[in-house]
Chains A and B, each alone.
Chain A
Amino acid sequence: MRHSKLGRIAVAAIATLSLATLTACGSDDPAPGSTGATSGGDKGGNIKVGFSQLGAESGWRTANTESIKANLTAENGFDLTFVDAQQKQENQIKALRDFIDQDVDIIAFSPVIETGWDEVLQDIKDAEIPLVLVDRTVDTTVEDPYVTWIGADFTQEGRTAGEWVKKNHPDAKIFELQGTMGSGAQTNRQEGFREVIGDNVIGEASGNFTRAEGKAAVEGALAAYPDMDLIFAHNDDMGLGAVEALEAAGKKPGVDVKIVTVDGVRDGLQALHDGKFNYVVECNPAFGNQLADLLRSVKAGETVPKETIVIDEAFDQTITQEFIDARTF
C-alpha cells in the first residue's frame, strides 16, 4: 500500500480497493506544531482509545501517525493504545480483538483493505464499543458498523484546484498529469477538476505519481501540446518532475507554464515558494486534533455526523518560508 507523500495511496490500493479509499486531508490548523495545543474539555477521566494504524508505508502516513499520537495524549485527556499493523490485515484484526479484550472506550482504525472485516466488526458491535474509521472506509455486511468516519475526499481536492484555475486563468490550456490510472486519487481528483474546468484540458498523460515519469510525460507534452500553458498534476512529485522537464526545455515553470498540484509536501510547498508552482491544494495528514475532538464527542454521546470531511486547505505563492520549514512531511 502506498501513498507517496500523499497522492500515492492509489498505487497501493489499486483500482478496486482504492475507489472508496480516502485519505484524510485538510486541517483547521495546518501548522502541525500547533495541533497539540487544542485543549479539549476534560470531562473527567481519560478516554481509553485503541487506534490501529495500517502501516508506515509513506511519509504521509508517518505524518498522520505522528499527528494522531501528538494529539491523543494524556494531557489532552486520552489513554491511547497505538498499534501499527505493518500493512497486514491479520495484524489489524488481532489488534482490534485485543482492544475489545481491553475494553477500551473507543476503537479507531485505518483499514488496510476494504473487505474481510465482517466478523471483527460484529464483535466490536456486540461489545458495544463505538468505532471510528479514519482515512479509509470498509465494505461490510455488518449493519451500521461504525459511528463516524473522518477523512477527506479527492474529488474536493480536484474541485478546489479547478476553481483556482477558473478564477485566475480562465483561458488556460491545460495539460493534466495523471496519477496511476485507476487509483482513487487519480480518478477522483480528475473528476473534481474536470467538473469545474474540464473544457480547458487539452491533453493528458499518466506520470504514475512519480517524478521521473511525470518528467517524461511533460517532455513529451512539450512537443505534443506546444501551446499548453498550465499543468495540473495529481501530486507534488509529478509536478516537480514537470518543473525539471520545463527547465530543461528552457521554459520557466510557474511563469511560461503554470503548475497546479495536489499534496502540499514540503518539497512541493518549497517549489511554490520559489515561484515554480502556482497553486497547491493540500492534503494534510495532520488531522489529529480534529480526530481528538471527534473522539471526545463520541465519548460524550453527542450525535456526530456520519462523515467528517475536512475542508481542504490550499496555498498560493504567498506562502512563507517559516511555514514550509515547520512542515514535518
Chain B
Amino acid sequence: MSGPTVELTPDTPSSPPPAQPAAQPRPSVARRIMQHQLFWPVVALIALIILCGIKNPTFLTIELRDGNLFGQLVDIARMSATPLLLALGMALVIATGGIDLSVGAVMAISLAVSLTYLDGAANPGSVSTAAVAVLLGVAVALAAGLFNGFMVSVLGVQPFIATMILMVAGRGVAMLITQGQITTVTSAPFKFLGSGFVFGIPTPVIIALIMLVAVAILVRRTALGMLLESIGINREASRLAGVQSRNITWLVYIVCALLAGLAGIVYGAPTMAADANNIGLMKEMDAIMCVVLGGTALSGGKFYLSGTVVGALILSTIERAVVIFHIPSQITPLFKALVIIVVCVAQSPKLRELLRDGAAKLRPRALPEVAS
C-alpha cells in the first residue's frame, strides 16, 4: 500500500508537524460535551428518569430477588431490547441513505415460523427443538433481507417502496404460516429468551448487548462502517473510489432483517403467542425513531450506534413514564410526540446556531468593558 510518494517532496521541510493538535484552539470541555450529538438525547433520558423518580421514588430502586435484578429501570432496559435490535440494523440501512419499513413484518414472520415449528414439534420443551425454532425464524428473516437487498441494490427500487412490499405482504405471509390462528405454545427454553435471566440480567438485555457489540465490531472493526457512510454521503464519489455499493447495500439489508427476525423472537418469547397481525406492528417507526433520536440523519451518512442505544432507552422510558405520570391513555400519544419533538428540536443544528448567535450577541452587551 505504500505509495510511490514516500520521498516525493523532500523539499518541504517547512511543512507543519503532521496530524494532531488542530490549528484552532480546542473548544472547552463543557462546550465539546454540549456539542456532542448525544448530549441532548442523554439529557432527555436522564431528565425523564429523574422526573419519574421524583413522581415515584420506587421507580429508581433496583432490587435483587432470587439473584435476579428487578425494578422499573430493569424493565426499561428489557423493553428496550426489541427496539434496539431493530434500530441497530435500521441505523446501518439509514446510513446508506435507505430505509427498511419491513422490520415489523419480518418480526411477525420469524416469530410465526419459530412458534409454528415448536407447535408441531414432538418435544417443544427441549433445548435443541427451541434452538432449531430460533434458527428457522432467523433463516426466514435472512430470506426477507435477501429479498429487500435484491430489490434495492440490484433492481434499484427505491428503498421506501422496496421494503414496503414486505411491510404489507409480510403480515400476509405470517398469517399464512399461522393459518390465521394465534398459535400459542409452551417451551421453557424458548420462553427463556424473552423472560429469563442470565447472571441476574434479563436475557433480552443480554441478547441486545451481544448484538450491539457484534454490529459494532462488524462496522467499526472492518471498513464496512466507513464505506456505508461514504455511500450514504456521496454515492457517485464512492463509486469512483471503488466502493462496491451494490454488495454493501445488499449486505446491510440482510443484517437489518436478521436483527429484525431476532427481535421478533425476543419480543414474542415471553408470551409465546404468534399473533401475526400484531407482533411488530408499527415497530419500524419505533426503530426509525431510535435511530433519529440517536443523532443519525435520515438522509444517510454518519451513523451512531451509541446514539441508537440512547434512542431505544428514551423510547422505552417514555412508554413507562406515561404510566408513572398517570397520563390518561387518550393523550399518551401526544405526550410521546411532545418528548420526541423536544429532543429532535434540541438536536436541530439550526436551533443550535440560533442559540449560539443569540448568546454571542448577548455576551458583548453583558460585558461591555471587557469587550472593548
A residues lining the B interface (CB < 8 Å): 2, 4-5, 8, 11-12, 55-59, 61-62, 178, 181, 203-206, 208-212, 215-217, 219-221, 223-226, 237, 240-241, 244, 248-250, 267
Hey, which chain A residues are within 8 Å of B182, CB to CB?
4-5, 58-59
Task: Please tell me if the beta carbons of A223 and B58 are within 8 angstroms of each other in the complex.
Answer: yes
Cα-based distance from A187 to B328 in the complex (angstroms): 14
Task: Please tell me if the beta carbons of B323 and A217 are within 8 angstroms of each other in the complex.
Answer: yes
Task: Please tell me if the beta carbons of B195 and A224 are within 8 angstroms of each other in the complex.
Answer: no
The 3 A-B pairs of least Cβ separation, nearest first, read A220-B323, A211-B271, A56-B180
The reply on B51 being an interface residue by CB < 8 A is: no
Task: Please tell me if the beta carbons of A206 and B180 are within 8 angstroms of each other in the complex.
Answer: no
Cα-based distance from A58 to B325 in the complex (angstroms): 34
Residue A205 contacts which of B56, B267, B323 (CB distance < 8 angstroms)? B323
Listed residue (B195, B277, B329) with the most chain A CB atoms within 10 angstroms of its CB:
B329
Closest to B61 in A: A223
Closest to B184 in A: A267
List residues of B (314-335) whose CB comes within 8 Å of A's CBs: 319-320, 322-326, 328-330, 332
Hey, which chain A residues are within 8 Å of B332, CB to CB?
205-206
Q: What are the interface flags for B335-363 relative to A under an 8 Å C-beta threshold, 1 for contact and 0 otherwise?
A: 00000000000000000000000000000
Hey, which chain B residues are within 8 Å of A237, CB to CB?
271, 273, 275
The reply on B79 being an interface residue by CB < 8 A is: yes
Task: Please tell me if the beta carbons of B195 and A223 are within 8 angstroms of each other in the complex.
Answer: no
Listed residue (B56, B180, B195) with the most chain A CB atoms within 10 angstroms of its CB:
B180
Task: Please tell me if the beta carbons of A11 and B277 are within 8 angstroms of each other in the complex.
Answer: yes
Q: A181-B330, A217-B323, A220-B320 are in contact. Are A209 and B180 (CB under 8 A)?
A: no
Task: Please tell me if the beta carbons of A241 and B271 are within 8 angstroms of each other in the complex.
Answer: yes
How far apart are A228's CB and chain B's nearest CB, in angstroms? 11
Closest to A217 in B: B323
Residue B275 contacts which of A62, A210, A217 (CB distance < 8 angstroms)? A210
Listed residue (B72, B75, B325) with the most chain A CB atoms within 10 angstroms of its CB:
B75
How far apart are A214's CB and chain B's nearest CB, in angstroms? 9
Cα-based distance from A181 to B275 in the complex (angstroms): 19
How far apart are A178's CB and chain B's nearest CB, in angstroms? 5
Hey, which chain B residues are within 8 Å of A217, CB to CB?
323
Task: Please tell me if the beta carbons of A57 and B180 are within 8 angstroms of each other in the complex.
Answer: yes
How far apart are A7's CB and chain B's nearest CB, in angstroms? 12
Task: Please tell me if the beta carbons of A248 and B195 are within 8 angstroms of each other in the complex.
Answer: yes
Task: Please tell me if the beta carbons of B329 and A181 are within 8 angstroms of each other in the complex.
Answer: yes
Task: Please tell me if the beta carbons of B326 and A203 are within 8 angstroms of each other in the complex.
Answer: yes
List residues of B (36-78) whose CB comes within 8 Å of A's CBs: 56, 58-59, 65, 70, 72, 75
Hey, which chain A residues are within 8 Å of B275, CB to CB?
4, 210, 237
Task: Please tell me if the beta carbons of B181 and A62 are within 8 angstroms of each other in the complex.
Answer: yes
Closest to B191 in A: A244
How far apart are A247's CB and chain B's nearest CB, in angstroms? 10
The reply on B125 being an interface residue by CB < 8 A is: no
Cα-based distance from A317 to B121 in the complex (angstroms): 32
Task: Please tell me if the beta carbons of B319 and A212 are within 8 angstroms of each other in the complex.
Answer: no
Hey, which chain A residues are within 8 Å of B189, CB to CB?
none
Hey, which chain B residues are within 8 Å of A4, CB to CB?
182, 275, 277-278
Q: A216-B79, A249-B70 are in contact. Are A2 and B323 (CB under 8 A)?
A: no
Task: Please tell me if the beta carbons of B273 and A178 are within 8 angstroms of each other in the complex.
Answer: no
Cα-based distance from A56 to B329 in the complex (angstroms): 30
How far apart are B260's CB and chain A's nearest CB, in angstroms? 16
Task: Please tell me if the beta carbons of B59 and A223 are within 8 angstroms of each other in the complex.
Answer: yes
Cα-based distance from A2 to B271 in the complex (angstroms): 19
Hey, which chain A residues are within 8 Å of B281, CB to CB?
11
How far apart are A200's CB and chain B's nearest CB, in angstroms? 15
Closest to B330 in A: A181
Q: A209-B278, A223-B58 are in contact. Are A58 and B329 (CB under 8 A)?
A: no
23 contacts between A and B (CB under 8 A): A2-B278, A4-B275, A4-B277, A8-B277, A56-B180, A57-B277, A181-B329, A203-B323, A205-B323, A205-B329, A209-B278, A210-B278, A210-B279, A211-B270, A212-B271, A216-B79, A217-B323, A219-B72, A220-B319, A220-B324, A223-B324, A248-B70, A250-B70
List residues of B (106-163) whose CB comes within 8 Å of A's CBs: none
Q: A58-B182, A181-B330 are in contact. Are A224 and B277 (CB under 8 A)?
A: no
Hey, which chain B residues are within 8 Å of A211, CB to CB?
270-271, 273
Hey, which chain B residues are within 8 Å of A225, CB to CB?
326
Closest to A237 in B: B273
List residues of B (201-227) whose CB comes within 8 Å of A's CBs: none
Hey, which chain A residues are within 8 Å of B58, CB to CB?
223, 226
Closest to B332 in A: A206
Given contacts A205-B322, A224-B56, 16 further A-B contacts (CB under 8 A): A2-B277, A181-B329, A205-B332, A206-B329, A212-B271, A216-B75, A219-B320, A220-B72, A220-B319, A220-B324, A221-B323, A223-B72, A224-B324, A224-B326, A237-B271, A248-B195
How far apart are B367's CB and chain A's nearest CB, in angstroms? 48
Cα-based distance from A274 to B85 in the complex (angstroms): 35
Q: A223-B59, A226-B58 are in contact. Are A215 and B278 (CB under 8 A)?
A: no
Cα-based distance from A226 to B184 in the complex (angstroms): 31
Hey, which chain A residues are within 8 Å of B175, CB to CB?
57
